[in-house]
Amino acid sequence: MFFLWPGYLWFLLLLALMPAAYLWLLRRRNKAALRYSSLGVVQAAVAGRQWRRHLPPALLLLASAGLLVAAARPVASVPLPWARTTVMLAIDVSLSMRVSDVKPTRLVAAQEAAKLFLQEVPKTIEVGLVTFAGSSQVAQRATLDREALVTAIDGFQMQMGTAVGNAIVLSLAELFPDQGIELADLNVASNGNPRARSLDDKAKPPPRPFTPVAPGSYNSAAIILLSDGRRTTGVDTLAAAKMAADRGVRVHVVGLGTVDGDVAAPDGMAIYMKLDEPTLREVARMTGGDYHHAGSAEALRSVYENLGSRVQVLTRETEISAVFALVSALVAMAAAALSILWFGRIT
């Protein structure tokens, strides 16, 4: 725990003088009382309830200390179910998604499962949407607006190609906008075609350096990747997974469709309809995520339900001044109530 305004804590030193002042007042009062009665009578009157005399002032002192701590604005790491979390949905929209081995088609099943996920995930979690085929696009930036996400899901347009790695990189660029992740530069590097830096490139700020962290250690975001095929273009899938792992982002992978590619398809298309399970499993393993094979619409919906239940609580540094203030107020009220109950007045 740390404090945003630690200077207020110095007042606790002044508060430490209060017990000495209290004892001085008690001695002064006792001396005055002895003028009118004998010592034996005074001791007999207070012997049975000496602790009652000191409890309300002690509680008031404790409440004052709590209020000073609250004024210093303490911050602690606490689990909050409403804390901000971002989930990026990366969904394959390649032409193979039109195949009907998952009824009515793979794409429709994926759309319905994605909508179900939006219903299951807490409303306080932001969700973004990335679509990918031969290229990748941000169909909807991370938002709490579920209607906007549903509209984007209904507007999917299928394309040729499958750039799985691009989808992961583009999702990371959305999650870490200040790190200067440029998908275009990575695509050039993956194709082995270095290019001369243009004036626009030179004007861009250099990428912000970062220190790699343990895979799966970044709890503020996650990527859910759905694909039915294998990479045919773009950034290498495992290289993109390494980028996610270095940033601690888990990639949960959903493999959709037929593993062996035995589906009704035009000649020459079967190889692209095979689900590349080894690579997708490795993506999940590298990033600390999970892999699920969903061979049917029902299984796909079940996978999304389970994923939605995992991203509900986040531990974040949160100011807890209100907690200290509330507890201090309750303690002060208890001190006043006991004083009135025992002595008929607030002492």
Q: Are 89 and 146 in contact (CB under 8 A)?
A: no
Query: Are residues 156 and 297 both part of a single domain?
Result: yes
Q: What is the pLDDT of residue 19?
A: 82
Q: Provide block-wise average pLDDT over 10 residues at a time, the chain (347 residues).
A: 88 84 72 52 53 82 90 83 76 88 85 89 89 94 95 93 94 90 69 46 57 89 88 92 95 81 51 76 94 79 68 68 92 88 74
Phi, psi angle pair for 294, to nearest 5°: -115, 100
Query: Are residues 305 and 336 both part of a single domain?
Result: no
Query: Are residues 336 and 199 both part of a single domain?
Result: no
Query: Are residues 219 and 271 both part of a single domain?
Result: yes
Domain of 103, CATH number, reads 3.40.50.410
* Amino acid at the residue 42: V
Query: Are residues 142 and 229 both part of a single domain?
Result: yes
Q: What is the pLDDT of residue 102?
A: 78
Query: Are residues 308 and 324 both part of a single domain?
Result: no
Number of domains forming the structure of the chain = 2
Q: What is the pLDDT of residue 111?
A: 93
Distance CA 251, CA 218 (A): 11
- The helix/strand count (H/E) of the chain reads as 14, 9
Query: Are residues 206 and 304 both part of a single domain?
Result: yes
Q: Are 297 and 103 in contact (CB under 8 A)?
A: yes
Q: What is the pLDDT of residue 85?
A: 78
Query: Are residues 308 and 323 both part of a single domain?
Result: no
Query: Are residues 15 and 102 both part of a single domain?
Result: no
- Quote the domain boundaries for residue 221: 86-312
Query: Are residues 68 and 140 both part of a single domain?
Result: no
Q: What is the pLDDT of residue 242?
A: 96
Q: What is the pLDDT of residue 269?
A: 52
Distance CA 310, CA 87 (A): 11
SS3 content of the chain, % helix, strand, coil (to 5): 50, 15, 35
Query: Are residues 176 and 303 both part of a single domain?
Result: yes
Query: Are residues 94 and 232 both part of a single domain?
Result: yes
Distance CA 346, CA 340 (A): 6
Tokens at 207, concatenated: 């990428």
Give how far Cα 105 sits from Cα of 25, 110, 159, 299, Å.
85, 9, 15, 14
Q: What is the pLDDT of residue 273?
A: 62
The total of other beta-carbon atoms located within 10 Å of residue 147's CB is: 9
Give how far Cα 160 sits from Cα of 152, 201, 272, Å.
19, 29, 10
